[in-house]
Chain A
């Protein structure tokens, strides 16, 4: 069964550094998403992406964040100038229709 994959599984970075989280959505899916989950808290929507552009973003997704689909397979989330409060699990998801398929997540730790 096709799966959404994410790399790396765990990323440790220092405050102020830039990180890029990578996702490979399922190949025939057209809609892509990033969510995050701070430890012990609920899953939060960050951004949705369709037809090579952002279709919706949350208040969390400010100028510090950006997304890109650089080729036909990868979908990336860039976080500039990381802060301690950016530490969380970041999930990528994709969907063909209504059902969203989530990846295993990248645990980002900002020290």
Chain B
């Protein structure tokens, strides 16, 4: 599975839009991109996933350019409760195992 690289930490203020970019240069044709959120002492929680172009749900948007070598998670109007670690992962379609390989993630700190 492709290795992912994302910033170690980011700071933001309440009400701002936060964009976290992840690079995955070696992504394969049958890989998709997925993002998880983790609060301290809790299990990771799924945010969004996509294969190409743009995906939006009630929590976030995911932008994937045509070459799929990077992706950007966009969190609109963050609040203090969005302070967490955000993980970008590449997972394989049709993989019966379906394991997730986590990196260090991006520690987002939202300030008042």
> Which residues in A have some Cβ–Cβ distance to B below 8 Å?
4, 31, 33, 35, 42-45, 48, 50, 55-56, 58, 89, 91, 93, 95, 98-105, 107
6 more contacts with CB within 8 A, not counting A48-B97, A55-B96, A93-B43, are A43-B38, A50-B96, A89-B41, A99-B46, A100-B44, A105-B43
**B side interface size, CB within 8 A:** 23
Q: A98-B32, A98-B34, A98-B49 are in contact. Are A103 and B100 (CB under 8 A)?
A: no
CB <8 Å contact, B43 and A42: no
CB <8 Å contact, A104 and B43: yes
Instruction: Write out, one digit per residue, whether chain B residues 90-106 have a CB within 8 A of any chain A CB (1) or not (0).
Output: 01010011111111110
CB <8 Å contact, A56 and B97: yes
Interface class of chain B by DSSP: loop
Interface class of chain A by DSSP: strand
Q: Which residue among B45, B49, B100, B104 has the maximum number of chain A CB atoms within 10 Å of its CB?
A: B100
User: 7 A-B contacts, Cβ less than 8 Å apart?
Assistant: A33-B98, A42-B105, A45-B99, A45-B100, A50-B97, A55-B96, A89-B41
CB <8 Å contact, A105 and B41: yes
Minimum CB–CB distance for A109 against chain B, Å: 13
Q: Which residue among B43, B44, B49 has the maximum number of chain A CB atoms within 10 Å of its CB?
A: B43
> How far is B93's CA from A18's CA once the two chains are assembled, in angstroms?
36
